[in-house]
Amino acid sequence: MKHLFASISLTALIAIPFSAHAQFAKVEDAVKYRQSAFSVMGTHMGRVGAVVKGEKAYDQAAVESDVAVIETMSRLPWGAFPTNSNLSNSKAKPEIWKEQDKFKAAADKMQSQVAKLAAAAKSGDQGAIKAAFGATGQACKSCHDDFRNK
């Protein structure tokens, strides 16, 4: 399992520089790409959230693994918001394209919080993990509030 995760992580890290400047053949491809990245990130946030809430037993290796996925995914969707990609199957608000600086700042803040969550996960300090998870969740919520339709 560790080798599989390492291979996936290495592949994702190699792809990260290309994803920021990704050219999508169709706007629909960009929407699908960003939705997929957010979906994977959300799944792993849910797994860590279950641990933080006490619904699932703490397992440091599992939390570290989930947070590593979150950290990788947190870098991927931002290059997939080309102009005119606010399609009917997208929950993206028009403010994303009207307020690019604010959107980028929100993305940067979320990535910064995820980095802190990763450090907390590696420390094994459950209190630090809980605090960092809360801050990460707030960063996600803030962006959702401003830039995502319900």
Residues 88-143: pLDDT tens digits? 889 999 999 999 999 999 999 999 999 999 999 999 999 999 999 999 999 999 99
CATH number at residue 136: 1.20.120.10
The answer to whether 103 and 34 have CB atoms below 8 angstroms apart is: no
Domain presence at residue 84: no
Domain presence at residue 100: yes
Domain presence at residue 131: yes
**Three-state secondary structure along the chain?**
CHHHHHHHHHHHHHHHHHHCCCCCCCHHHHHHHHHHHHHHHHHHHHHHHHHHCCCCCCCHHHHHHHHHHHHHHCCCHHHHCCCCCCCCCCCECCHHHHCHHHHHHHHHHHHHHHHHHHHHHHHCCHHHHHHHHHHHHHHHHHHHHHHECC
Domain presence at residue 81: no
Show the domain range for 13. 2-75+91-147
Q: How many domains does the chain have?
A: 1
Predicted TM-score (pTM) of the model is: 0.83
Q: What is the pLDDT of residues 4-30, one digit of tens each?
A: 444 444 444 444 444 444 578 999 999
Domain presence at residue 102: yes
Domain presence at residue 86: no
Domain presence at residue 29: yes
